[in-house]
Structure 1
Amino acid sequence: MQAKEVKDQLKFLISEASSIDPSLEKRLDEVYRWIKDKKNGLLNTKKPLMAFLLELINDAEVWLELQLLTKEEQQAALNLFTPPVRYWYSYLFPKWLNELDPKLYKWKPKMMGGQFTQEDAKLLTAITNEITSRQGSVLQRYVADLSMATDLIVSGSQEQALCIQFTSISEEFSDSKYQEWKTTLFKWSIDRGLFLSFDPSYPEFIKQLVNIALYNSNNLKIGSYLKFSVPS
């Protein structure tokens, strides 16, 4: 989908949402007004921005379809999703629609300005592949990453979604980032989370990260916000 199609689809979804979910209408309108006067050719060159817009369009379409169902039908539809996807649509996405996002106004200009480089994209792809190879499930969303301090939403064998942030910063600086992360999770009422710092030179660090992620997805108690380092 190119920029013009994205703009047209956003306008269509804003119209659809007006009679179904005003909170979605408001958020989509905010995003549309952000991009509507930008030249289509310019928008097409900004890959992270376009990826975010396409992701938002997809989420909005799914959300609107869910809103047209009865409560029983909606729950049945959600039960067909993997636990991370179910957690996203049943909790985090509607929470983002209905609440003030204090980080949105910081990352929007960075994304438009090309400052959002996704340096950890290869790492997160490798972690995702390792998790799925072990029959776990994963969800990645720009909003979760940039507004909710969550790189990946992960689920293991117990089918419980867990929000995780990965960072390669040194132990010296990880404490302050951990506190910021925890504050963000509290703001969004995320009831448990995992903060994983790692040394990328450590042998098989990805497998170690996935071991910790899957174990805690299955076992971490509500109200727990743990910090681990690899190597420990």
Structure 2
Amino acid sequence: MGECLQATAIETKLRELMRISGSLEPALATRLEEIWRWIEQMKPGKLMQKKLLMGFLLEVIQDAEVWLALKPLTDAERESFLHQIPPPVRYWYEYLFPRWFTEQDNKFYIWKQKLRSGEFSQDDAEVIDVIAQNIKSRQGSVVQRYVADFSMATDAIVSSPTGKPLCVQVTSMSDEFSEYKYEEWKRTLQAWEIERGIFVSYNPGKEAFVRELVNVVLHNSNHLADYKYLKFSF
């Protein structure tokens, strides 16, 4: 019963956020309504079985709440808050999240159906989690979002302790076959006007690749120039 109530609460929360954003940010209200209409016919028990879908919905609700809390602030108040949070988090709320709900997302209609039907698999999820833990252990910062993954070809937004946000895509596809995926990734980042990114193909059998990859990520957070999209293989 508790799980069903939780799923019901998600739909209630979406409607509440639609109402609040209707006056503060109509574009966000439109996106939330699109999401709500997408799930409104699903029974709560069925919704709870879709773990990735539930994760996406909870993320969107959280991000909408934070963004709507920032919206009424003065510029100085908003800047003060954003200055206190890690660079990737700031980049998400200040730039990428609002771009997602104000711009057309050509991939949304595709992945939301796959997410609902359970077709998505996160083959590299464990590796990405290990990479994220290693970056954090070196005082770096990491943000992961389903929207960034599915629509913006970004497994994680990262930064070193003193660097700038960097969008990272990781794949176990061999270097020989990853060139097309790299070009597609670069086009996606450019379409969203993401200024910097690195694409990494790795060999799961190579023991040291996580350490090497983390070194590359932290280095490029500090040094990669704007409008650069680099490819690495480990």
Same fold per superposition (TM over 0.5): yes
C-alpha distance in 2, partners of 1:70/1:123?
Answer: 40
Task: Say whether residues 1:40 and 2:44 are aligned partners.
Answer: yes
How far off is 1:103 after superposition? Answer: 0.5
- Report the residue type matching 2:173 in the other structure: I
| Secondary structure at the counterpart of residue 69 of structure 1 | coil
- Report the residue type matching 1:101 in the other structure: D
C-alpha distance in 2, partners of 1:44/1:203?
Answer: 37
C-alpha distance in 2, partners of 1:43/1:208?
Answer: 39
- Report the residue type matching 2:130 in the other structure: A
- Report the residue type matching 1:61 in the other structure: E
How far off is 1:222 after superposition? Answer: 0.6
Q: Which of 4, 19, 24 pairs up with 1:20?
A: 24
C-alpha distance in 2, partners of 1:152/1:91?
Answer: 15
Q: Where do 1:170-209 residues align within 5 Å?
A: 170-209=174-213
Per the alignment, residue 216 of structure 1 pairs with 220
Per the alignment, residue 150 of structure 2 pairs with 146
C-alpha distance in 2, partners of 1:183/1:99?
Answer: 16
- Report the residue type matching 2:139 in the other structure: Q
How far off is 1:117 after superposition? Answer: 2.0
How far off is 1:179 after superposition? Answer: 0.3
How far off is 1:158 after superposition? Answer: 2.1
Between the aligned residues of both structures, percent identity stands at 52
- Report the residue type matching 2:149 in the other structure: D
- Aligned-residue Cα RMSD (Å) equals 0.9
Consecutive aligned runs of 4 or more in structure 1 exceeding 3 Å deviation: none
Instruction: Tell me the number of residue pairs that the alignment of Structure 1 and Structure 2 aligns.
Output: 230
Per the alignment, residue 31 of structure 1 pairs with 35
Q: Which of 7, 10, 14 pairs up with 2:11?
A: 7
Per the alignment, residue 112 of structure 1 pairs with 116
C-alpha distance in 2, partners of 1:89/1:14?
Answer: 18
**TM-score scaled by structure 1?**
0.97
Q: Which runs of 5+ in 1 are unaligned?
A: none
| Secondary structure at the counterpart of residue 117 of structure 1 | coil
C-alpha distance in 2, partners of 1:112/1:80?
Answer: 36
Q: Which of 74, 79, 86 pairs up with 2:78?
A: 74
Matched-pair contact (CA < 8 Å) for 2:124–2:172: no
C-alpha distance in 1, partners of 2:175/2:101?
Answer: 35
Q: Which of 117, 135, 142 pairs up with 2:139?
A: 135
